[in-house]
Each structure stands twice: as C-alpha cells, then as structure tokens.
Amino acid sequence: MSTVLIIGASRGIGLETVKLALKAGHSVRAMARSANAIRLHDPRLEKLDGNALDQHTIESALAGVDAVIQTLGVSPTPELILSGTSLFSATTRILVNAMEARAVKRLISGLGAGDSRGHGVLVDARDWRSGFISRADVADFLVKQIDDVSLLHKTPTLTG
C-alpha cells in the first residue's frame, strides 16, 4: 500500500478521499489549514495543519510520500465569482516543484492542472450534458488512481 498526501483534506471531496484511502489500506497524510479538526481516527492517518501555498510546508509534507492527491476547494463568494482565484495554479506550481525536488512522481489532481487547462469550460448551457456527481464518487475515482496506471498522463473528465 502507498503513503498518500491529500491536500485539502478537511472537508468535501478531500475528506471523502481521506476516508476511502484509509478504507483501501493506504497510509494518509491529511493536510489542510484545519487538519486537526478532522474527526477521523486511524493509526494510518497523520493530520498536518498547513497552508498549501507555503513551500516549506509542502516540502515537509512530501517526505516519505508515494503519491499526492490535491483536492483544494474554495467557497463560491461573489468576489471569487467576479474576480477568480489563482489558488489552484499557485499551489500546483509550488507542489510540482517540490515533488520534482523530492522525486515524488504521482500527482492526482483536479481540473486546471497540467494539460487539463481549458478542458470542461462550458459557457453555453446548451452544451451541458452531465448531471451532478457525488463527492464520494469523485473520491472513489481519485483513490483508485493511486495504483491504477491506465489513465496515467491522460485527462479524464468525471460526469454524473
């Protein structure tokens, strides 16, 4: 089994991913600004309070890790909707550089990372073809990618 760093692990998809990774037998380092608030207890779970934009924290978190799952999220505020965010690109830049330095090769991330940029940007509602997908289903897919190499270097899109 692998040791997995899950960034953004305290809520939403991140928390579901932590649960399923533990259930699958992986050791998990759960990183979030409020990781100590995670109400899970397992000897294979390490909670790490930290900011994903802090390079030192990321470098330390990568020690002994086989794979990284990035599940950061932001709350949709009016300001965010109008002005956007650079959180994902800035964090990914820090993370990839630190992973290269630590020789961690496996990054499982969401839309906007690597060659996924520009995919899934549907502006006209007439182009929408999918429904909702549960956090648990997304987390299940992410955890399966820890060991499954069939989608390595590919850009899958999950739909409901």
Residue 70 to residue 112: CA distance in whole angstroms: 11
Tell me, rounded to whole angstroms, the distance of Cα 40 from its chain centroid.
Answer: 18
Give the predicted TM-score (pTM) of the model: 0.84
What does the pLDDT read at residue 75?
66
Residue 137 to residue 159: CA distance in whole angstroms: 10
What does the pLDDT read at residue 39?
96
What does the pLDDT read at residue 112?
46
What does the pLDDT read at residue 74?
65
Name which CATH class applies to 3-144: alpha beta
Mean pLDDT by 10 residues, the chain (160 residues): 94 95 98 94 97 94 96 71 68 92 88 50 58 86 93 78
- Helix 12-23, helix 135-144: angle, nearest 10: 50
What does the pLDDT read at residue 32?
95
For 111, the enclosing helix (H) or strand (E) is none
What does the pLDDT read at residue 116?
47
DSSP string covering 45-84, please? EEEEE--TT-HHHHHHHTTT-SEEEE-------HHHHHH-
What does the pLDDT read at residue 85?
63
- Tell me the domain boundaries of the chain: 3-144
